[in-house]
């Protein structure tokens, strides 16, 4: 699964991907450039205006039409989200260089792909794609042998509130780390998510 920093939106809210606002900004930028290109081309094709005047008018038109879209974005939130994504990249680089012996450049390239190039955190990356990214993979032949280890790790994560990893149920938003939940409830919530 891709690496994706999430930000908490508030007590009555949920977690949100930090990529959402950043991708919105990138879409508006792309739209603005396309609008500028098309507008210049149309002005030149439909008038006898010189290039510099056509560019001037196209910039004004694009600014006015795209300005409405840009006004919907909160620059502070975009900065916060971009920072959260950078923290994810830098943390991953530290892990890859320190524990896997990768060069900084190789780790940075792979981490940027994992953070920015996949559509969502839930996007499944299969074994072939992991290998194409240069990540070490082992195919698990005996899944039954692995299951107790995964469950033990999951239980450790659920009981340790000090961890930076937090498991969250997707269906009802219930915090799986809540100490009031018993083990059966947590198991059911994990199966549902």
Q: pTM higher than 0.85 for the full model?
A: no
CA separation for the pair 80, 86 (Å, rounded): 10
Give the pLDDT mean for 78-83.
76
Place of tokens 């549902």: 192
At residue 163, the pLDDT reads 47
Output the pLDDT for position 164.
47
Q: Which residue has the higher pLDDT, 190 or 29?
A: 29
The residue ranges of every structural domain in the chain are 16-73, 76-133, 143-192
- On the question of pLDDT at 29 being above 50, the answer is yes
CB-based contacts of 15: which residues, under 8 Å, 6+ apart? 6, 7, 8, 9, 168
pLDDT at residue number 185:
47
Instruction: Give the tens place of pLDDT for each residue, 36-75.
Output: 999 999 999 999 999 999 999 999 999 988 888 778 877 7
Please write the tens of the pLDDT for every residue from 89-146: 888 899 889 888 899 999 999 998 888 888 777 788 888 998 998 888 887 777 787 8
Using an 8 Å Cβ cutoff, are 121 and 38 in contact? no
Q: Which residues contact 64 (CB under 8 A, 6 or more apart)?
A: none
For residue 88, is pLDDT > 80? yes
CA distances from 30 to 15, 23, 84, 120, 167 (A): 27, 10, 23, 20, 35
- In the predicted model, what is the mean pLDDT of residues 6-16? 52
Q: What angle do CA 111, 27, 51 make, to 5 degrees?
A: 120
Q: How far apart are CA 85 and CA 117, in angstroms?
A: 12
């Amino acid at each position: 699964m891709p690496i994706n920093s999430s930000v908490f939106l508030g007590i009555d809210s949920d977690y949100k991907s930090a990529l959402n606002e950043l991708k919105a900004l990138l879409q508006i930028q792309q739209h603005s450039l396309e609008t500028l290109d098309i507008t210049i081309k149309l002005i030149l094709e439909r008038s006898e205006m010189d290039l510099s005047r056509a560019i001037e008018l196209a910039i004004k038109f694009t600014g006015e039409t795209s300005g409405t879209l840009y006004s919907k974005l909160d620059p502070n939130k975009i900065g916060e989200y971009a920072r959260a994504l950078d923290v994810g990249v830098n943390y991953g680089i530290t892990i890859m260089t320190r524990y896997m012996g990768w060069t900084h450049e190789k780790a940075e390239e792979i981490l940027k792909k994992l953070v920015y190039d996949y559509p969502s955190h839930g996007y499944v990356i299969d074994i072939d794609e992991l290998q194409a990214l240069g990540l070490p993979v082992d195919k698990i032949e005996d899944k039954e042998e692995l299951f107790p280890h995964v469950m033990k790790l999951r239980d450790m994560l659920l009981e340790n509130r000090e961890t930076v990893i937090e498991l969250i149920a997707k269906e009802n938003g219930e915090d799986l780390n809540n100490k009031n939940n018993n083990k059966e409830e947590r198991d059911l919530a994990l199966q549902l998510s």
